[in-house]
Amino acid sequence: MIGVSSSALFRRDMLKAGAAALCTAAASPAFGVAAAAPVAGGARPPRDQRRFVSPAVEQEIVRVKARIADPALRHLFETCYPNTLDTTVRLGIVDGKPDGFVITGDIEAMWLRDSSAQMQTYVHLCRRDPALRRLFHGVIQRQARCILIDSYANAFMADPQAKSNLGAIDDLTEMRAGVAERKWELDSLCYPMRLAYGYWSETRDTAPFDALWAKAMARAVATMREQQRKTDDGPYRFERVNRHATETLMLKGVGAPTRKVGLIHSMFRPSDDACTLPFLIPSNLFAVSALRMLAKVHVEARHDSAAAAECIALADEVDAALRTHERGAGYGRPRSDVRTRRPRARRRAQLRYRTRRAVDAGEWSLETCAGAGIRLRLPLTPDATGGGPALQHEHL
């Protein structure tokens, strides 16, 4: 594992390094279709050094390996699939209940998004493994406690009383104890909702969905409401001292201005880069889906129709806003309009450019200027050569 200092590489830097290493490995003959033997090294930790062992996962590895002909790919699956359990999981007890902390790769912190995605791949095995169900119970409970510490944070420390040991400790935001990084990313709240739904759908186990979990989910929904910013900018502010555009927010940490239309603001992307435009459409789509999943858990696991109604109301509102305002591949708008809007705008821009060139060359008329949206400013002033009047103009 790679050590992380207090100044810490951030996740994006590590992902870049990991991608480069993967590309180098993929270029080697061992990854070719005709590879004769598994790649050297990269073995799993010895069994007595693994953080968590699931009989169901071990059986799944045997089952899938038998279906992979290429020995290098077979070895890759055997090594990678259980890696979360082998190296990143810490299972304990908090208040008499399971507590599962899942670090993100080489960083000794737990991201809500990453821990959910890391565990999602095992959810279909929970039904036949009580130990794995206990681990999921612990992870769902830990995520709930993290959200209650700070629903705007994306990453958390193992010790809820500890200060961040990452460079984020210097960020200009409300860094509470237990928070490793405080970038508001809408999808960070969506992932725990999806994980809870996946676990409930597979096991029908009500144990993780207690009053603590319900309180955390209510806070998550309230945070999404706050970030619709209908009446004000909400409580979230974030600035990073290095001031790089991808790492900080403009306007004293508020972020770019928006017209409030019912979409949820996300100030950072899943990549941890700042959003230039806060209405991150994929994350809003995810929120609609995750809120509807959460509503099902409220109804089926907790018989809480009021909490479910809150989720559905917000999901429907965001969905309606997406249909009205999304500008992607024609979502909520006739395709004929998508085809014609941009060519019309392009023709107008070309007309304005040609007219501006004509004005600069002295070949102009009031009619062509008005048609191209160029305002004339009178009176005319002598040109720089003294040879006659020069036209002052500006674009509307």
Asked if pLDDT for residue 391 goes beyond 50, the answer is no
Asked if pLDDT for residue 376 goes beyond 70, the answer is no
Rounded to an integer, what distance in angstroms lies between the CA atom of residue 52 and that of residue 329? Answer: 44
Q: Given this model, what pLDDT does residue 203 score?
A: 97
Choice between 363 and 79, residue whose per-residue pLDDT is larger: 79
Q: Given this model, what pLDDT does residue 242 score?
A: 81
Mark 44-77 as b/e (b = at least 16 C-beta within 10 Å): beeeeebebebebbeebbeeeeeeeebebebbbb
For 160, the 3-state DSSP assignment is coil
Give the tens place of pLDDT for each residue, 37-86. 433 457 899 999 999 999 999 999 999 999 999 999 999 999 999 999 99
Residues 394 and 376: beta-carbon distance below 8 Å = no
Q: Given this model, what pLDDT does residue 354 score?
A: 61
Q: Assign 104 a pLDDT band (cuts: 50, 70, 90).
A: confident
Q: Assign 352 a pLDDT band (cuts: 50, 70, 90).
A: low
Give the tens place of pLDDT for each residue, 125-138. 999 999 999 999 99
Q: Assign 118 a pLDDT band (cuts: 50, 70, 90).
A: very high
**Residue pointed to by tokens 């100044």:** 7
Rounded to an integer, what distance in angstroms lies between the CA atom of residue 35 and that of residue 50? Answer: 29
Q: Given this model, what pLDDT does residue 344 score?
A: 67
Asked if pLDDT for residue 36 goes beyond 50, the answer is no
Q: Given this model, what pLDDT does residue 230 score?
A: 94
Choice between 251 and 209, residue whose per-residue pLDDT is larger: 209
For 111, the 3-state DSSP assignment is strand
Asked if pLDDT for residue 345 goes beyond 80, the answer is no
Residues 107 and 14: beta-carbon distance below 8 Å = yes
Neighbouring C-beta atoms of residue 339, cutoff 10 Å: 10
Cis? peptide before 382, omega within 30° of 0: no
Of the candidates 163, 165, 214, the one whose C-alpha atom is nearest the C-alpha of residue 192 is: 214
> Phi then psi for 38, rounded to 5 degrees?
-60, 155
> Phi then psi for 41, rounded to 5 degrees?
75, -170
Q: Given this model, what pLDDT does residue 31 score?
A: 31
Give the tens place of pLDDT for each residue, 254-310. 999 999 999 999 999 998 899 999 999 999 999 999 999 999 999 999 999 999 999
Q: Mean per-residue pLDDT for 192-198?
A: 98
Radius of gyration of the chain (CA): 27
The dihedral through the CA atoms of 298, 304, 310, 316 has a sign that is: positive
Q: Given this model, what pLDDT does residue 148 score?
A: 98
Asked if pLDDT for residue 28 goes beyond 80, the answer is no
**Average pLDDT in the chain:** 81
Cross-strand bridge partners of residue 296: none
For 387, the 3-state DSSP assignment is coil
Cα→Cα distances 62→44, 57, 75, 241, 299, Å: 14, 9, 11, 49, 37
Residues 370 and 393: beta-carbon distance below 8 Å = no
Choice between 246 and 326, residue whose per-residue pLDDT is larger: 246
pTM of the model: 0.74
Of the candidates 220, 248, 239, 82, the one whose C-alpha atom is nearest the C-alpha of residue 173 is: 239
Give the tens place of pLDDT for each residue, 221-238. 999 999 999 999 999 999
Q: Given this model, what pLDDT does residue 244 score?
A: 84
**In this prediction, what percent of the chain has a pLDDT beyond 70?**
72
Q: Given this model, what pLDDT does residue 349 score?
A: 65
Q: Given this model, what pLDDT does residue 245 score?
A: 85
